[in-house]
Amino acid sequence: MAEFQSYTLNFGPQHPAAHGVLRLILEMEGETITRADPHVGLLHRGTEKLAESKPYNQSIGYMDRLDYMAMMCNEHGYVLAIEKLLGIEPPLRAQYIRVMMDEVTRILNHLLWLGTHGLDVGAMTAFLYTFREREDLIDVYEAVSGARMHAAYYRPGGVYRDLPERMPKYEPTPYRGEKELREMNRAREGSVLDFLDDFCHRFPACIDDYETLLTENRIWKQRLVDVCVVGPERAKALGFTGPMLRGSGVAWDLRKKQPYEVYDRLDFDVPVGTNGDCYDRYLVRMEELRQSTRIINQCVDWLRANPGPVRLDDPKVSPPSREEMKDDMESLIHHFKLFTEGYCTPPGEVYAAVEAPKGEFGAYIVSDGANKPYRLKIRPPCYIHLSAMDEMIRGHMLADVVTLIGSLDVVFGEVDR
Amino acid sequence: MAEPETLKEALQAHFGDRLQHADVAYGEVGVEARPRDLAAVMTELRDAEPFRFDQLMDVIGVDYAAYGQDEWITERATDTGFSRGVGDPSTPRLGLTGIYGVQEITEKTGRRFAAVYLLLSVEHNHRLRVTCFAEDDDLPVIDSVTGIWPAANWPEREAFDLYGIVFDGHPDLRRILTDYGFVGHPFRKDFPLIGNVEPRYDVEKGRVIYGPVEIEPRVLVPRVIRDDNRYKGRPGSTEERADG
């Protein structure tokens, strides 16, 4: 029999397990990987350069398109940086709405991650289950912002509008009976908050369903346990954040350690792994689903009890209402200036970070006092995680590449920017 | 979180004049290091006790060539017509990539390209921003910190790709985000927003070729710098901040 020789394998960019447009050059020894060279940038759009040519507010929509699985968290990081520059703080209700929507986003992201990770590793069923719940939360996105994905909902000084009183409902079709329709719309009769309340009550059982399918599944464990182990010190050196860092046993969560918005008023736990393998990262994210549900629940209760403004009453950064604008000269001028020129920020440099579902998402802005950022740098968590791939995958088998990509939870809108 | 002022004082006490322009603005500590001190300073920042910056969050390239330039007259009124635009399309302005075009950058300041390092200490829960200006504008070279934090690998490649900052000692300094065979460093201020070339299919040659871009650049919102009264006294400490 001929001896194995080392060879190079091209993986992607059009590979269903590459989660987008990842091209991997794998140097292999038999089925063992000796070096992985990820080629990224196939989705590079120059978001940061584009932001330099636009007033601050016009780039919010671009943030959605970075990590398109955690849309509002990206907006949050960007908007926080602007607020830091301007020295403004949104009203409390807006902060609660942001936190609630961040956690909705976290669940959205983790559900997609879980479904596709399972699909990659060979567990088809979980995917079908997770997308059922994702659909409900995407409807929440639609209700609050009008868009199912690219919300552009956060604004410096608050959010675009208050939570709506109605949820979008399913409509009758020839294929749906009235009874079925009533059942589908059962939770949608009230406001968004009612819907989320109902969701928080039924979602833990759904997580149990996913866990029944996976957590003790021996194929799942064979594929994940002890694959791509990273120790806590190494994880810090490699720049890991979020579930990747916590999976390695470092109790670090920006929501706890450097709380922004109202996270310090909320009660939740931070799950931490012990082994730093793919399975621990899976467990950490599963627990985060439960904790996010807890946070949403608390936010729903607070938001129901405390109506109020959701945007800062400062016409220099947030536009006046339509009625004011038509009645009042000053408001008309403010409106006109805001939408033709935007607002100028004071000169300086700021960095604001949020705990996005994938890790620390940060926005670094250099301002020279203009109405556009002089330089905007996005700190994408996936980009740094993916850069550690070479080190993590060495000595593993080809099949583990797919496990690792799933476990890294990469999204190329964000890696390539 | 540790107080920024305390961290700033600790930094000044420990490093002396090896770190300059230490300041606290917007609740963040920023310092500047000279390129020749960078490697030693960074190693100490990682290991020395009051700091222990065990994580490097990001390495950011910045091109300061067009800093503070605007396209709109805000101070004086004009008596000829209504436009407040600075110049016209025939007077290209540095770094502004719209209708005003792109001017060649000839001035050598030694403070054009900077690498900004965002450090985080998980142990002590504080952050620091270290800026390092490359001394040569034509060939900006800064020491690589990949040996100190392996996380610097891709961010340095990115800064090289987008700004042409060369990181000395980087193990694998290749382009990362731009296309295979890309020419130029797209995030530099003298690189036009619309790019220089675009691909199209050539029927005669039967393959995709690159030609000059055909679209017209335009500015929808001019770049305006206003000397806003509310921001008097900034950048500075948070106490100086006037109410918005």
Q: What are the pLDDT digits (tens) for A258-288?
A: 888 899 899 999 999 998 899 999 999 999 9
Position A56 confidence tier, pLDDT thresholds 50, 70, 90: very high
Residues of chain B found within 8 Å of residue A52, distances taken between Cβ atoms: 193
| Residue B169 backbone zone (phi > 0: left; psi -120 to 50: alpha; other: beta) | left
Listing DSSP states for B9-33 in one string gives HHHHHHHGGGEEEEEEETTEEEEEE
Laid out side by side, the sheet with B19-25 consists of B19-25, B28-33, B126-133, B113-121, B55-63
Considering only alpha carbons, which residue of chain A is nearest residue B60?
A: A377
**Rounded CA gap, A379 and A242, in Å?**
13
* Contact status of A328 with chain B (Cβ, < 8 Å): no
**Rounded CA gap, B141 and B166, in Å?**
5
What's the confidence (pLDDT) of residue B103?
54
Closest to B26 (Cβ–Cβ): which among A41, A348, A370? A348
Residues of chain B found within 8 Å of residue A383, distances taken between Cβ atoms: 154-155
Closest to A347 (Cβ–Cβ): which among B63, B122, B235? B235
Residue B175: exposed, middle, or buried by beta-carbon count in 10 A (0-12, 13-18, 19+)?
middle
CB pairs under 8 A between A and B: 148
Neighbours of A326 (CB within 10 A): 11
Residue A234: exposed, middle, or buried by beta-carbon count in 10 A (0-12, 13-18, 19+)?
middle
State the best of B28, B58, B148, B172 to mutate against chain A, taking most chain A CBs within 10 Å. Answer: B58
CB contact at 8 A, A87 and B241: yes
Residue contact A377–B58, C-beta within 8 A: yes
What's the confidence (pLDDT) of residue A91?
93
Residue A212: exposed, middle, or buried by beta-carbon count in 10 A (0-12, 13-18, 19+)?
exposed
Which of A48-57, B68-77, B157-166 is predicted least confidently?
A: B68-77
Closest to A258 (Cβ–Cβ): which among B58, B125, B129? B125
Position B231 confidence tier, pLDDT thresholds 50, 70, 90: confident
What's the confidence (pLDDT) of residue B211?
87
The structure tokens listed for A186 are 């059962």
Is the confidence at residue A334, as pLDDT, over 50? yes
Residues of chain B found within 8 Å of residue A40, distances taken between Cβ atoms: 176-177
What's the confidence (pLDDT) of residue A76?
93
Please report how many Cα atoms fall inside a 13 Å half-sphere around the Cα of residue B224, on the Cβ side: 22
* Contact status of B139 with chain A (Cβ, < 8 Å): no
Average pLDDT over residues B10-26: 85
Residue contact A346–B234, C-beta within 8 A: yes
Position B227 confidence tier, pLDDT thresholds 50, 70, 90: confident
Position B242 confidence tier, pLDDT thresholds 50, 70, 90: very low
Nearest 5 degrees, angle CA A33-CA A233-CA A395?
10
Residues of chain A found within 8 Å of residue B177, distances taken between Cβ atoms: 40-41, 44, 416-417
Laid out side by side, the sheet with A375-379 consists of A348-356, A359-367, A375-379
What single-letter amino acid sits at A121?
Answer: V
CB contact at 8 A, A400 and A227: yes
**Rounded CA gap, B54 and A232, in Å?**
11
Closest to B177 (Cβ–Cβ): which among A41, A237, A317? A41
Listing DSSP states for A224-244 in one string gives HTTSS---HHHHHHTT--HHH
CB contact at 8 A, A351 and A363: yes
Position B241 confidence tier, pLDDT thresholds 50, 70, 90: very low
What's the confidence (pLDDT) of residue B163?
92
* Contact status of A383 with chain B (Cβ, < 8 Å): yes
**Rounded CA gap, B65 and B110, in Å?**
10
Collect all residues with Cβ–Cβ distance below 8 Å to A29 and sequence separation of at least 6. Answer: A4, A6
Average pLDDT over residues A148-166: 89
Is the confidence at residue A18, as pLDDT, over 80? no
* Contact status of A113 with chain B (Cβ, < 8 Å): no
Residues of chain A found within 8 Å of residue B241, distances taken between Cβ atoms: 87
Is the peptide bond between A232 and the residue preceding it cis, with omega within 30 degrees of 0?
Answer: no
What's the confidence (pLDDT) of residue B199?
87
The structure tokens listed for A120 are 């990659």
State the best of A42, A44, A86, A316 to mutate against chain B, taking most chain B CBs within 10 Å. Answer: A44
Residues of chain A found within 8 Å of residue B221, distances taken between Cβ atoms: 54-55, 58, 340-342, 371-372
Q: What are the pLDDT digits (tens) for A341-387?
A: 888 888 889 999 999 999 999 999 999 888 899 999 999 999 999 99
Residue contact B244–A87, C-beta within 8 A: yes
Provide the pairing of β-strand A158-159 with B55-63: unpaired
Residue A52 distance to chain B (closest CA, Å):
9
Which of A51-55, A250-254, B53-57, B72-76 is predicted least confidently?
A: B72-76
CB contact at 8 A, B104 and B127: no
Beta bridge partners of B120: B55, B127
Q: Which residue has the tokens 């800026």?
A: B131
Beta bridge partners of B60: B116
Closest to B221 (Cβ–Cβ): which among A55, A84, A416? A55
Position A120 confidence tier, pLDDT thresholds 50, 70, 90: confident
Residue A22 distance to chain B (closest CA, Å):
12
Average pLDDT over residues B195-209: 89
State the best of B124, B127, B225 to mutate against chain A, taking most chain A CBs within 10 Å. Answer: B225
H-type alpha helices, A167-321:
178-184, 192-214, 218-224, 232-237, 242-247, 254-257, 278-305
Beta bridge partners of B133: B114
**Rounded CA gap, A353 and B76, in Å?**
39
Nearest 5 degrees, angle CA A416-CA A21-CA A77?
35
CA distances from B143 to A236, B128, B185 (A): 21, 19, 19
Average pLDDT over residues B29-58: 89
Q: Which residue has the tokens 């006037």?
A: B242
Q: Which residue has the tokens 């269903």?
A: A16
What single-letter amino acid sits at A364?
Answer: Y
* Contact status of A399 with chain B (Cβ, < 8 Å): no
**Rounded CA gap, A225 and A135, in Å?**
30
CB contact at 8 A, A195 and A187: yes
Residue B17 distance to chain A (closest CA, Å):
22
* Contact status of B127 with chain A (Cβ, < 8 Å): yes
Is the confidence at residue B15, as pLDDT, over 90? no
Residue A155 distance to chain B (closest CA, Å):
16
Predicted TM-score (pTM) of this structure? 0.89
* Contact status of B55 with chain A (Cβ, < 8 Å): yes
**Rounded CA gap, A141 and A149, in Å?**
7
What's the confidence (pLDDT) of residue B219?
73
What's the confidence (pLDDT) of residue B110?
75
Please report how many Cα atoms fall inside a 13 Å half-sphere around the Cα of residue A207, on the Cβ side: 22
Listing DSSP states for A239-256 in one string gives T--HHHHHHTT----HHH
Collect all residues with Cβ–Cβ distance below 8 Å to B22 and sequence separation of at least 6. Answer: B8, B11, B12, B29, B30, B31, B32
A5 φ, ψ to 5°?
-120, 155
CB contact at 8 A, A272 and A222: no
Read off the DSSP letter of residue B86.
Answer: S
Nearest 5 degrees, angle CA B2-CA B145-CA A358?
60
State the best of A317, A374, A412 to mutate against chain B, taking most chain B CBs within 10 Å. Answer: A374
* Contact status of A207 with chain B (Cβ, < 8 Å): no
CB contact at 8 A, B31 and B130: yes
Maximum pairwise Cα distance, chain A = 88
A23 φ, ψ to 5°?
-110, 125
Laid out side by side, the sheet with A23-29 consists of A6-11, A23-29, A32-39
